[in-house]
Amino acid sequence: MENVSVQDIVLATGGVLLSGDDGVMLNKIRLDSRQVETGDLFVPIIGEKVDAHKFLEQVAEKGAGAVLTSEHKEKTEEMAETSCAWIAVDDTKKALQAVGRYLRKRLTLPIVGVTGSVGKTTTREMIAAALSARFHVYKTPGNSNSQVGVPITVSEITKEDEVGVLELGMSEPGELTVIARIAKPDVAVITNIGITHIEQLGSRENIYREKLTIQDGLSDGGILILNGDDDMLCRTRGKAGVKTVYYGTGETCDYRAVDIVLMDGKTEFTVVHAGKTQKVLLNVMGTHNVMNALAAIAVCCERGMTMEEAAEGLLTFHGFKHRQQVYADGRFTVMDDSYNASPASMKAALDVFQGLTGKRHIAVLADMKELGGNYLAYHREVGEYAANSGVDLVVTLGEACRSLAEGVRAVKEIPVVEFSDCGEMVKYLEAEIRDGDCVLFKGSNSMGLSAVADQFVEMAGR
């Protein structure tokens, strides 16, 4: 945080200063007591398992500049023993969000907000890369896209930053409205409407309605950028006073990709906009990444950049760990897309995997989570897709992947080996993978495939 005092936090939260000096300047907002350093603001969140209020005295003694508390209404002896400022609020999470809204109002730079069922993190990174050809860009670090992550992200934007690119997540009804009103984006991007979090939201239609609430933070004169190839978004118009822009491969899209060529590890296409064309080269593979890049180009052009500048910026994007990273310099090729999984991203990964050169293509697929009551049908659907994607061997991990295996077998006579234990699967793969093979690792993050992928990347290099 820059130039933020205890008094600012009291003003933002509507809290009461129980102890300490309201003129003290604060550094960072911390939710983890172990990370607190001198001058930080500690916000104790009440979680399902742990109430972080129990760490208040500890962080105060450690040198925190201020703490929020919903458990104290008056000054205690313990407070007086430290220089830490104690601020009483009704609800610490809501107070944190109020701080985020307060700090956002102090910022003058434009904010790009990105949401969607699949691809929002990659799209965020591509937008940031493209914008960096002209601007100093601040982007969401890691996965700080939640009701508590976004306020912290906003607090870390500095006066050197010229544009912010924030990922806005959602897993329950009403959440995106809260987040969007903190971020107050000038440009809002929706990548697609899928079935991620359908377990919590009930239907794709409900997910669609929730994703559109990103507009609750979009001001009049803002821009809504939509995936024109998505069957629901292509028929959507932004709210009154908002400009709607579409990207995709369809004739009616404002930013349209043509002449798409997938090479080994790279993608090339031409973007058409307002009668002009621009060749674009990506250092990542997949038609889904063409869509992500189109969103980035649309953002750049709507913010006054040229398509040439955007294409130059996109060259700096090389993907990131556990998200479609291809390691092809060893004894065998590893495609690590183990960070997370949904039916759409599984299919996209298989499409990219199909384009890699190797003797055999081995797809190691683990359970997909948060798919609701139809999760077995979605797994079977992915299995059927895998059978038609050119793979030579499918290895599955998890109970739900039994249905995926059934889907494979229903379409083609491809070898399928099923595991419920990760250790046993690793032993099998160590014996099975041969020099020259291509191996894909894809599954939900909780299935632990990232560590397995790391192990085989190391093994391939020996």
pLDDT at residue 98 greater than cutoff 80: yes
Q: Are strands 16-19 and 111-115 parallel, antiparallel or unpaired?
A: unpaired
The predicted-structure confidence for 124-151, as pLDDT tens digits, reads as follows 999 999 999 999 999 999 888 999 999 9
Q: What is the pLDDT of residues 194-249, one digit of tens each?
A: 887 677 788 899 999 999 999 999 988 999 999 999 999 999 999 999 999 999 99
pLDDT of residue 175: 95
pLDDT at 321 over 90: no
pLDDT (0 to 100) of residue 462: 58
**pLDDT for position 199:** 73
Burial of 48 (0-12, 13-18, 19+ CB in 10 A): exposed
Pairing mode, if any, of strands 361-366 and 333-337? Answer: unpaired
> Residue 290: its pLDDT value, please?
96
Given a cut of 80, whether residue 191 has pLDDT beyond it is yes
Q: How far apart are CA 224 and CA 322, in angstroms?
A: 30
Q: What is the distance between the alpha carbons of residues 375 and 266, in angstroms, rounded to a whole number?
A: 33
For residue range 392-401, list pLDDT tens digits in order. 999 999 999 9
Q: How far is CA 245 from CA 50, 213, 225, 236, 302, in A?
A: 44, 17, 5, 10, 9
pTM: 0.84
The closest of 282, 189, 294, 188 to 249, measured between CA atoms, is 294
Neighbours of 424 (CB within 10 A): 11
Q: 50-54, 157-161, 319-323, 430-434 — which is least confidently predicted?
A: 319-323
Query: Bigger pLDDT: 156 or 329?
Result: 156
Q: How far apart are CA 119 and CA 124, in angstroms?
A: 8
Gyration radius of the chain's alpha carbons: 24
Determine the Cα–Cα distance for residues 342 and 326; give it in Å rounded to an integer: 20
- Chain segment 15-35, per-residue pLDDT in tens: 999 999 999 999 999 999 999
Average pLDDT score, the chain = 94
Specify the pLDDT at position 408.
97
Q: What value does the mean pLDDT take over residues 2-8? A: 96
pLDDT digits (tens, 9 = 90+) for 352-363: 898 888 999 999
Q: Is 204 exposed, middle or buried (0-12, 13-18, 19+ CB in 10 A)?
A: middle
- Per residue in 370-394, pLDDT (tens digit) is 898 899 999 999 999 999 999 999 9
Per-residue model confidence as pLDDT tens digits over 264-291: 678 999 999 999 999 999 998 888 899 9
Q: Which of 336, 350, 346, 276 is nearest to 310 (CA)?
A: 276
Interval 248-269: pLDDT, tens = 999 999 999 999 998 767 899 9
Neighbours of 77 (CB within 10 A): 6
Identify the pLDDT of residue 186: 97
